[in-house]
Amino acid sequence: MYDAPKLETALDQQDIKISADKVQVYYGETHAIKDVSVEIEDKTVTAFIGPSGCGKSTFLRTLNRMNDTIDICRVQGNILLDGEDIYHAKVDPVQLRAKVGMVFQKPNPFPKSIYDNIAYGPRIHGLANSKADLDVIVEKSLRRGAIWDEVKDRLHAPGTGLSGGQQQRLCIARAVATEPEVLLMDEPCSALDPIATAQVEELIDELRKNYSVVIVTHSMQQAARVSQKTAFFHLGNLVEYDDTSKIFTNPSDERTESYITGRIG
Amino acid sequence: MPLSWLVIIVLAVSAVGYYLGRSRALAAAGGNSRDLHSLPSYYGANVLMKIIVPAFGVMVIWLLAQPLIIDRSVASMIPPSEIDEGASIGLVMAEVNRTAEGIRNAVAEGTMSREMAEDGRAEFVDFTQRLKDAGQIVTSNLSATIVRAAQRTNEMVAAGNMYMTALVLLIAAAGLGWGVKEAKPLFRARNVVEQGIRALLIGAASIAILTTIGIVFSLAFNTVEFFRLYNAWDFLFGVEWAPSFSGRGGSSSLGVIPLLWGTFYISIVALAVAIPVGLFAAIYLSEYASPKVRAFAKPMLEILAGIPTIVYGLFALLTVGPLLVEIFGEGGWLGVNWQGGGRAVMTAGIVMGIMLIPFVSSLSDDIINAVPQSMRDGSYGIGATQSETIRQVVIPAALPGIVGAILLAASRAIGETMIVVLGAGAAARLSLNPFEAMTTVTAKIVSQLTGDSDFASPEALVAFALGMTLFILTLCLNVIALVIVRKYREQYD
């Protein structure tokens, strides 16, 4: 993730993938994220829940520096990915985003063929040495996106012609094609019907084998179904962060309980 | 009664009608507007509509038809012997109308008595003198027939105006009566007014369409007339353009190919300048520029579009032409001797390109802005840089619109005249050298029709054929642009 690539040292499997410490985010004068500290584990699905405007999407976007594209946004505090500060001056945000992939609320396939949608990232980052390499990457990614069987016969049809659920799985496949280590998902199912949602949720569970997945969701059932850890945000504060089972059965904070039982939010 | 008085009277009647309709409806509902089907003002508007529309409609039709009918009737009075050799009945009728107007003006000024103006046996020599004394423009050879015809015209105009006034006032009164009678609580005035507004809008749209059709027909008739005098094959495929004016000796060669070549060559140079500059400017403005820069730069760029093309022509003639000669001309900076004079394809093309920059950039900018942010987010989220995102996601998504913008710019380039007249010269030439003077279809239309032209000769009529050629060319380009834009437009939600 530094500008100059360095040799991979022998991978000692850390449990903590991302560690955020006293993160503050400001939009102009607005203090959007207040003093958030959270440790996101590897090979785990972490869900961010909370009412609209509580800052969960903003915080998600600080994790791969997508907020850099917004002029008035300022971030303070430390966010470490594998122990390295991602806001350090040496870090190239473009390289960082290849490592921390992102899937958005609305499916946003590029106006290209299905094949080119997937090949986009690998081509940019030079991950394939030959056409055959690229074919392998595309197939692998589409399989991981659980959409290979549906599109293998029409790889060169436009990606925008797929149904909403297929488009979203295509976007997930596109995100995993660059071999990220973390996958950020910003309400990936909010534009999908229940069947497509179920497919994507199944896929998220699959992805957990290889990646650390962070998902923002408005659906508490979804958080309970797919995640192992849950963070509850309220008014820019991280109220509670714990095992999902504990959050949903025995929350320690009153506000969390009010939210999951439907009294606020 | 002058026309303006008639208009004022009809408007006054309609104002009274509005008031009457409104108050009568209110009175019928016992002063309680909630018992009315529509707001009181709708009853007034209904009366107003029923007065103005038929009255003015009849008036306009009458005013258009009256001169035609009078002309036809008077023309039958003129014996064929009265028409000079080489002149047509149209010329004689123009003379008659001029005399008729002269008589009217002379009577209005008081230099001629009404009796004399209407006297069928008046001595026409004396008549002519009186008209000249009154300062009316009359040719010396007024004949008795023309004077009689002019008098007859005047009689018919006077009668026609009287009938029209009577008819229009009658219709206005009838409309008033009808509308006021309708002003009852249950009458759905609101819906009627709604239909009236709809008809008004349809009328406006049809005028635009009918005018276009009218222009096409006038072009088409004259083009057919031209092809009757000149071989269509020679026009369409002739490679020489050498019109001989005044018909003195020799016939003209009117081949359109050199002109079309000049048009295309200059347009291509212009687009070669305008597309890269305009497109890159649009990309900078929409993707890279901060809001402040954009707020300043976009209007600045659009000022270019507001400069009259004749000013661009001057710029080409006085600045760009000499500059190019200094670079490419004899003894120039490059030491090549390609360009003889300031007027050249390059001169006109470059300046025309500058003129087109705002077209390309402003349209492309709107189109690039219409590409949803989610596309860019998707690309950034994968780890693409800004220029990769623009090149591989934004531009492909915006491409159909950009192609449409370019084709629109191309049809502007093909139709452009003043820059070419001043910048490219007047020599119709088939050559590949962009530093030579050439000319275009539009410039030749101007030169064929300026000065005294005899509209019966192929040398003048060719202008209509050229116009038709241009019209068809730009029409095709516009249709292609529309089809491309429509077919490949990305449907974002």
- What chain A holds in terms of domains, given with CATH numbers, is 17-105+179-260 (3.40.50.300)
Up-side HSE of residue B288: CA atoms within 13 Å toward CB? 11
Q: Both B151 and B35 in a single domain?
A: yes
3-state SS, residue B424: coil
Taking contacts as CB-CB distances below 8 angstroms, the residues of chain A near B392 are 110, 120, 124
| Chain B residues 369-398 with a CB less than 8 Å from chain A | 372, 374-385, 388, 392-393, 396-397
B381/A96 CB distance under 8 A? no
Domain boundary among B187, B219, B251: B187
Distance from CA of B490 to the nearest CA of A (A): 8
Q: pLDDT at position A116, please?
A: 92
A125/B381 CB distance under 8 A? no
Q: Does B249 touch chain A (CB under 8 A)?
A: no
3-state SS, residue B185: coil
Q: Both B178 and B272 in a single domain?
A: no
Query: Which residues span the domain enclosing B97?
Result: 3-187
Taking contacts as CB-CB distances below 8 angstroms, the residues of chain B near A108 are 372, 374-375, 377-378
* Burial label, B1 (beta-carbon count in 10 A; 0-12, 13-18, 19+): exposed
Q: Does B118 touch chain A (CB under 8 A)?
A: no
A69/B377 CB distance under 8 A? yes
- B241, containing H or E segment: strand B241-242
In a domain, B163, yes or no: yes
Spatial distance between the Cα atoms of A103 and A57, rounded to a whole number of angstroms: 12
Task: Give the other-Cβ count within 10 Å of A44's Cβ.
Answer: 17
In a domain, B196, yes or no: no
User: What does the H/E/C string look like for chain A?
Assistant: CECCCCCCCCCCCCCEEEEEEEEEEEECCEEEEEEEEEEEECCCEEEEECCCCCCHHHHHHHCCCHHHHCCCEEEEEEEEECCEECCCCCECHHHHHHHEEEECCCCCCCCCEHHHHHHHHHHHHCCCCCHHHHHHHHHHHHHHCCCHHHHHHHCCCEHHHCCHHHHHHHHHHHHHCCCCCEEEEECCCCCCCHHHHHHHHHHHHHHCCCCEEEEECCCHHHHHHHCCEEEEEECCEEEEEEEHHHHHHCCCCHHHHHHHCCCCC
B392/A174 CB distance under 8 A? no
Contact B442, B264 (CB under 8 A): no
Contact A229, A200 (CB under 8 A): no
- The CA-CA-CA angle for residues B37, B40, B46, to 5°, reads 85
Q: pLDDT at position B332, please?
A: 76
Q: Name the CA dihedral angle for B223, B228, B233, B236, rounded to a multiple of 10 degrees.
A: -20
Name the residue among B381, B397, B491 with its Cβ closest to that of A66: B381
* Burial label, A237 (beta-carbon count in 10 A; 0-12, 13-18, 19+): middle
In a domain, B73, yes or no: yes
In a domain, B388, yes or no: yes
Q: Both B297 and B422 in a single domain?
A: yes
The 10s digit of each residue's pLDDT in B56-113 is: 999 999 999 998 888 888 888 777 776 666 566 777 777 788 878 887 777 777 777 7
What one-character DSSP code corresponds to residue B249?
Answer: S
Contact A97, A66 (CB under 8 A): yes
Spatial distance between the Cα atoms of A176 and A170, rounded to a whole number of angstroms: 10
In a domain, B205, yes or no: no
Q: Both B249 and B157 in a single domain?
A: no
Name the residue among B383, B388, B396 with its Cβ closest to that of A178: B383
Taking contacts as CB-CB distances below 8 angstroms, the residues of chain A near B384 are 94, 120-121, 124
In a domain, B458, yes or no: yes
Up-side HSE of residue B255: CA atoms within 13 Å toward CB? 15
Domain boundary among B143, B167, B187: B187
- Relative orientation angle of helices A131-144 and A164-176, to the nearest 10 degrees: 130
Contact B356, B279 (CB under 8 A): no
Which value does ipTM take for this structure?
0.84
DSSP letters spanning B97-132: HHHHHHHHHHHHHTSS-HHHHH-TT--HHHHHHHHH
Taking contacts as CB-CB distances below 8 angstroms, the residues of chain B near A121 are 382-384
In total, chain A counts a number of residues equal to 265
Give the strands of the sheet with A16-27, arranged side by side: A30-41, A16-27, A73-81, A84-85
Spatial distance between the Cα atoms of B268 and B356, rounded to a whole number of angstroms: 12
Distance from CA of A200 to the nearest CA of B (A): 18
Q: Both B304 and B437 in a single domain?
A: yes
Taking contacts as CB-CB distances below 8 angstroms, the residues of chain B near A103 are 381
Q: Both B173 and B255 in a single domain?
A: no
The tally of domains found in chain B comes to 2
Q: pLDDT at position A10, please?
A: 39
Q: Does B35 touch chain A (CB under 8 A)?
A: no
Look up tokens 């006038």; give the residue. Answer: B218
Q: Both B245 and B179 in a single domain?
A: no
Contact B191, B47 (CB under 8 A): no
Domain boundary among B145, B165, B187: B187
B396/A101 CB distance under 8 A? no
In a domain, B231, yes or no: no
The domain that holds B479 is classified in CATH as 1.10.3720.10
Distance from CA of B378 to the nearest CA of A (A): 6
B384/A124 CB distance under 8 A? yes
Spatial distance between the Cα atoms of A212 and A47, rounded to a whole number of angstroms: 11
Distance from CA of B411 to the nearest CA of A (A): 28
Q: Both B256 and B183 in a single domain?
A: no
Q: Both B33 and B177 in a single domain?
A: yes
Spatial distance between the Cα atoms of B174 and B22, rounded to a whole number of angstroms: 17
A175/B381 CB distance under 8 A? yes
Taking contacts as CB-CB distances below 8 angstroms, the residues of chain A near B383 are 94-99, 121, 124-125, 178
Distance from CA of B300 to the nearest CA of A (A): 24
Contact B10, B52 (CB under 8 A): yes
Residue ranges for chain B with pLDDT beneath 50: 248-249, 493
Q: pLDDT at position B84, please?
A: 64
**Roughly how many angstroms between the first and final C-alpha of chain B, as a whole number?**
62
Taking contacts as CB-CB distances below 8 angstroms, the residues of chain A near B376 are 69
Spatial distance between the Cα atoms of B413 and B432, rounded to a whole number of angstroms: 19
Residue ranges for chain A with pLDDT beneath 50: 1, 4-14
Q: Both B319 and B175 in a single domain?
A: no
What six digits make up the tokens of A110? 């590029």
In a domain, B211, yes or no: no
